[in-house]
Chains A and B, each alone.
Chain A
Amino acid sequence: MSQAEGQQHPIKIYLWIWFLLFVLSTFSYLVDYYHLQGYLRWSLIITFMLLKAGFIVAIFMHMAWERLALKFAILIPPLCLLILITFMAVEGDYTFLTRGAAFLR
């Protein structure tokens, strides 16, 4: 192959990411431990989750060093899942209201 020996990076960067993942997981655990509620809880959980996911994909899975063509091919299609999630959220809400109307009369 042209890029003879693929992905070679200093070990240090993996140890750093490893450490960061530990810290972020501890933070998200603490969110639960201290019983944070409401929007604060959800925004913190999602922030930590996305940061962790980003580090894993970018560094551990080497996506940061891949060509843009591969990045596009892999990272763009999952975006259509947002449509599925939106539809199912609307649907879930509707079912909830219908059940409420039917059972709680």
Chain B
Amino acid sequence: MAHDAEAAALPPLRQVATDFASDKQAFSVPWGKAMMWIFLLSDTFIFTCFLTSYMNVRMSTTVPWPYPSQVFALHIGGQDIPLILIAIMTFVLITSSGTMAMAVNYGYRRNRRNTVLLMVATAALGATFVSMQAFEWTKLIMEGVRPWGNPWGAPQFGSAFFMITGFHGLHVSAGVIYLLVVANRVRKGFYEKRGSYEMVEIAGLYWHFVDLVWVFIFAFFYLW
């Protein structure tokens, strides 16, 4: 594709015009990657709808909103440490994003062993995250949080919490399975035969997106 190399040298906006106007594929990335990006775009809209509806119910309630810093505190060593579990979950997810980024890198370097190890580590961290979330859900349910009410204030707290973190947790769980499937294929040499490790990068895109969504949930739900 000589065309691509030519277009790459153009000034940025001219390059966009050329990419969209020419009689060729618009995005010079593998189609799987473009489609993953478009899927993630649609997922962005879903999560934004959840967070926006959460904003809406929180703004419109006349009852005080439960104070997340206290609701999500853990009793450790004789004192309440605010949000500590959520902070640890955040670090676990960031770490898994780091290992995933390196897995993608090793994939492109054709280092199968490191790619598999790092992907399995990513999946393990993801599973850890989901387990901690399960713990958090159990704790809140024991304390009486329900989608229709809770002991501390606005009843909408429960429905927003279960909906948003539940949907995110579902994404993490699906991601763990997805990563393990791709890692197994790397191990068996499937991509080696195909001659391309772009599938590892595509799986990575999904995983980083899950981390990205958590950044917004952490800021708007837990810290606000």
Contact = CB atoms under 8 A, between A and B. Distances in A.
Interface of A: 1-3, 5-9, 11, 14-15, 17-18, 21-22, 25, 28-29, 31-33, 35, 41-42, 45-46, 48-49, 52-53, 56-57, 59-62, 66-70, 72-74, 77-78, 81, 84-85, 88-89, 91-93, 95-96, 99-100, 103-104
5 contacts: A28-B219, A70-B27, A74-B38, A74-B40, A92-B55
Contacts of B37: 70, 73-74
Given A69-B27, A70-B27, A15 B62 contact: no
Given A2-B28, A25-B94, A91 B219 contact: no
Contacts of B8: 67
B26 A6 contact: no
Given A7-B108, A29-B83, A53 B28 contact: no
B29 interface: yes
A14 B94 CA distance: 12
A21 B215 CA distance: 10
Contact of B41 (A1, A48, A78): A78
Interface string B12-48: 1101100110000011111000100110110011001
A100 B62 contact: yes
A33 B197 CA distance: 43
**Residue of B13, B109, B198, B212 most packed against chain A (CB within 10 A):** B212
Nearest to A51: B215
Q: How large is the interface on B (under 10, 10 to 19, 20 to 34, 35 or more residues)?
A: 35 or more
B79 interface: no
Contacts, number: 175
Interface of A is mostly: helix
Contacts of A48: 219
Contacts of B62: 96, 99-100, 103-104
B173 interface: no
A100 B60 CA distance: 10
Contact of B105 (A11, A56, A70, A103): A11
B16 A72 contact: yes
Interface of B: 1, 4-5, 8, 12-13, 15-16, 19-20, 26-30, 34, 37-38, 40-41, 44-45, 48-49, 52-53, 55-62, 69, 82-83, 87, 90-91, 94-95, 97-98, 100-102, 104-105, 108-109, 196-198, 201, 204-205, 208-209, 211-212, 215-216, 218-219, 222-224
Nearest to B28: A67
B223 A32 contact: yes
A105 to B, nearest CB: 12
Contact of B15 (A21, A45, A69, A73): A69
Given A18-B101, A78-B45, A99-B62, 6 more contacts: A17-B98, A49-B219, A62-B201, A69-B16, A73-B38, A95-B56
Contact of A88 (B38, B53, B101): B53
A84 B215 contact: no
Contacts of A57: 208, 212
